Amino acid sequence: MGRGPPAVLAPWMLFLSLAQANFAPHFFDNGAGSTNGNMALFSLPEDTPVGSHVYTLNGTDPEGDPVSYHISFNPSARSVFSVDPNLGNITLIEELDREREDEIEAIISISDGLNLVAEKVTILVTDANDEAPRFIQEPYVVQVPEDTPSGSSIARVRAVDRDTGSAGSVTYFLKDGGGKLRGADVVLSATTVVTVNVEDVQDMGPVFVGTPYYGYVYEDTLPGSEVLMVVAMDGDRGKPNRVLYSLVNGSDGAFEINETSGAISVMQSPSQLRREVYELHVQVTEVSSAGTPAAQAMVPVTIRIVDLNNHPPTFYGESGPQNRFELSMYEHPPQGEILRGLKITVNDSDQGANAKFNLRLVGPGGIFRVVPQTVLNEAQVTIIVENSAAIDFEKSKVLTFKLLAIEVNTPEKFSSTADVVIQLLDTNDNVPKFTSHYYVARIPENAPGGSNVLAVTAVDPDSGPWGEVKYSIYGSGADLFLIHPSSGIIYTQPWASLDAEATARYNFYVKAEDMEGRYSLAEVFITLLDVNDHYPQFGKSVQEKTMVLGTPVKIEATDQDAEEPNNLVDYSITHAEPANVFDINAHTGEIWLKNSIRSLDALHNITPNGDRTWSLEVQAKDRGSPSFSTTALLKIDIIDTEMLSRSPMAAFLMQTKDNPMKAVGVLAGIMAIIVAITVLISTATFWRNKKSNKVQPVRRVLRKRPSPAPRSVRIEWLKFRRTKAADKFVLKEAPPNENCNNNSSRGSTPAPQAPAPPPPPSPAPSVGQAPWTVPTVSGSLAPQQPQQPSPKPRAVAKRKAVGSPVQSALVSELRQKFEKKNLHSKAYF
């Protein structure tokens, strides 16, 4: 049966359709805990060795085509795994560290050649015990008293472990909790140092040092001689107690022990000793701080009786017997320092007491001491500094001693000596010292700039550069002065202008310093000698005074110089017309009428034209050398006390004394006039504002009133009730102080003119130039003028009745003013 064309094409079309429908491959998902599949929920310990086969990718293709596997990572991450493309075996190629990276992200893919399927997976890194614990808060230092009970807590340490779980737990018994690492149980540990300082307490008994003890008594030993010395100390080294020694038994009265030093001495002659060997028992007892016995200890001491002596002590150096030893050392070594440069050995070849000798230093005492002081047979000689201050290069550059070794208890007393020579080296151990704690100098105030004032001196006994001294000054009073840094000469600044009246004394400090900054200070006091460079000055060149008959007036001048006698002023009348009217006190400046003039009439008789005002030329002259003087013109108006009672003002006061209502009426009239004027001004102001038809703000206009004309009416009469009206004007003031310095400045006296500036200062003098020498200031006082005779008692009594000169002058001025004003006031009475 034949087939047509459709039947032939059908198988080929089926094959083609199947070939075009090729499905993608896929991974098997075997779940957690599986080691093959698609790595779902896969975890890996961090201690997995590199190169280990850790997983197998497994998948299939629906058509059964062969598949290949691939794995990739983020470009910024590490490529931790590799994969076999044919078998799907995944291998670890880099070491894992959970503490740094606990998750790994990767992209796995499967391909059949045509189709590629990729999946993103996360591999968890599990912990392993790979981190050791670490201590924190180190170091650990603990103070523990030595009697702390067992089991007491003394310190706390702390450690941390970065692992998790049991691997991260820490126990403090020198190891941690442990954990798995590469399949094995591993315990990691960390160590720290805990320093425990044990504090001493009194829990130990005394301990003997240098046991066993042997001593020897020779046939020539004298009773009371020291045989040997036992030494014990408290077993507690921190705070040791004092110990006392005693013999318990075995001495039979032949030996005694010093309870504080432990020295055992024989008390009998060797011929009296009955035994060849004595076994003594020495007990030592601690004495507590409270003074009570504490712990005790005991030690045996063996003493033998021997004899003979035939060898002297001998000194040895490093190369054999030697009798001279030299050493160089710096001055002032520390107290107790050993002279290690000296290698000295002393030896006595005899035995027993014959080989016992003493060592001592012969020379300046108290500087060094030798140890040991007592030697048996042989010893290394040690010389120790005893007095560091005495080892001074400035006092002695070489110290020489003799080291003497002399046998103690032998009849021969063999001995030997050796010279010890110590060359001292200098250090900077001295401070520069001034020759005085303070310096005092005097210089004239007119000394030019750059003048030498004084020279200070400081001495540093050190040698070389250490002994060089540099000077400087400082202090508030040092601004006008300089000092030469090497010579110590103090001189004034080139521009300095001294003025005793402005500042008479200067005080500052001078410093002497060596090259290492060691220094000392001294105080400098400079006094400016006053020079008579000021004239006496009157308050005014022309003065007016009112003199009440019988009362003096006073004229005064001041001198701005700083010291006496330059500022003491003497007064004299250089010109008067007539010349026989006034006398003046040369010291106080008081002027009074001569004793022969007792009334105005007598004064007018000797005065031409009968004037009541007299002019005097008064000179003020200081006592300096050279002396300066100045003059002033004094106009004196002289009045009598009787004139005051006859004045018009006195009449006015007398009238109002008996009729006070008249004065009251005058006062009431004046007040009525003032009130009327005020009312008129107020009314006029009101009408002016009203006519302006404006609301004026309340304001206050302040105008300066013209000074009113002098009023003629005076109402002072209301204050007086005495008969003599002039007495009402006498002012009450304190009497003048006769002990007051007449050169003190007054409020009305103008300030003196400043002196002319000095010439330009010369440059500061150098050390090599001849300095300006301060001149010697000397002078003499002018003889004091004889004191003016004091007024007669009658004149004095008259002056007391009138009052002081100031009171009299004021009364006179008030009287004149009231007389003038009374002429204008007569119309009211």
What count of other Cβ atoms lies within 10 Å of the Cβ of residue 285? 20
Instruction: Give the separation between CA 719 and CA 633, rounded to whole angstroms.
Output: 38
Q: Is the N-terminal amide bond of 25 cis, ω within 30° of 0?
A: no
Core vs surface per residue 433-455: b (16+ CB within 10 A) or e: bbeeeebebebbbbbbbbbbbbb
Give the three-class secondary structure for 272.
Answer: helix
- Per-residue pLDDT, 183: 67
- ∠ CA 351-357-362, rounded to 5°: 155
The two three-digit tokens of residue 13, written as one number:
């079309």
What are 229's strand-pairing partners?
263
- Short-list 582, 587, 576, CA closest to 622: 587
Shortest CA distance to 211 belongs to which of 322, 104, 273, 302?
302
| Dihedral class, residue 542 (left if φ above 0, else alpha if ψ from -120 to 50, else beta) | beta
Residue with tokens 């059949």: 112
Q: Tokens 């596997």 correspond to what residue?
A: 69
Residue 14, CA atoms < 13 Å, CB-side half-sphere: 6
pLDDT of residue 564: 84
Could you say which of 3.40.225.10, 2.60.40.10, 2.60.40.60, 3.40.30.10 is the CATH number of the domain covering 315-424? 2.60.40.60
C-alpha closest to that of 809 among 650, 635, 677: 635
What stretches in the chain show pLDDT beneath 70? 1-21, 165-170, 172-183, 307-310, 608-612, 641-663, 691-829
Quote the CA–CA distance of 791 and 793 in Å, as a whole number: 6
The DSSP symbol for 818 reads: H
Phi then psi for residue 603, to 5 deg, are -70, -40
Give the amino acid at 511: K
Beta partners for residue 321, in sequence order: 316
Residue 778 is predicted with a pLDDT of 31
Six token digits for residue 309: 């002596």
Place of tokens 């003074």: 291
Name all contacts of 287-296 with Cβ < 8 Å and 24+ positions apart.
287/241, 287/242, 287/243, 287/244, 288/202, 288/241, 289/241, 294/202, 294/241, 295/204, 295/205, 295/206, 295/235, 296/205, 296/206
Superfamily of segment(s) 26-126? Cadherins (2.60.40.60)
81 Cβ partners below 8 Å, 6+ apart?
54, 71, 90, 91, 92, 93, 104, 106
Strand segments, DSSP code E, in 410-475 are 415-425, 433-434, 438-444, 452-455, 458-459, 470-474
Residues composing the chain: 829
Same fold, 26-126 and 537-654: yes
Largest CA distance in the chain: 206
List residues bridging with 671 in a β-sheet: none
Spatial distance between the Cα atoms of 218 and 159, rounded to a whole number of angstroms: 70
What is the per-residue pLDDT for 592?
87
**In the CATH scheme, what is the homologous superfamily, with its name and number, of domain 537-654?**
Cadherins (2.60.40.60)
Tokens for 180, please give them: 């798995």
Specify the residue for token string 């005014």. 540
Position 38, amino acid: N
Within 10 Å of residue 778's Cβ, how many Cβ atoms?
7
d(CA 180, CA 788): 129
Which architecture, in CATH terms, is 207-306? Sandwich (2.60)
The pLDDT of residue 217 is: 87
Cα separation, 282 vs 740, in Å, equals: 93
Look up the CATH superfamily of 433-529. Cadherins (2.60.40.60)
Tokens 């400081």 -> residue:
458
Q: Where are the domains of the chain?
A: 26-126, 207-306, 315-424, 433-529, 537-654
CA distance 403 to 369: 10
Phi, psi of 665 (to 5 degrees): -65, -40
Q: Helix, strand or coil for residue 220?
A: coil
Amino acid at 453: V
Q: Tell me how far apart the alpha carbons of residues 726 and 808 are, in angstroms, rounded to a whole number.
A: 11
Is there a contact between 342 and 361 (Cβ–Cβ < 8 Å)?
Answer: no
User: How are beta strands 438-444 and 470-474 bridged, if at all?
Assistant: unpaired
Say what the pLDDT of residue 107 is: 92
Of 644, 667, 643, 647, the closest CA to residue 716 belongs to: 667
CB 656 within 8 A of CB 825: no
Residue type, 367: I
Q: Which uninterrupted H or E stretch holds 159?
A: strand 158-160
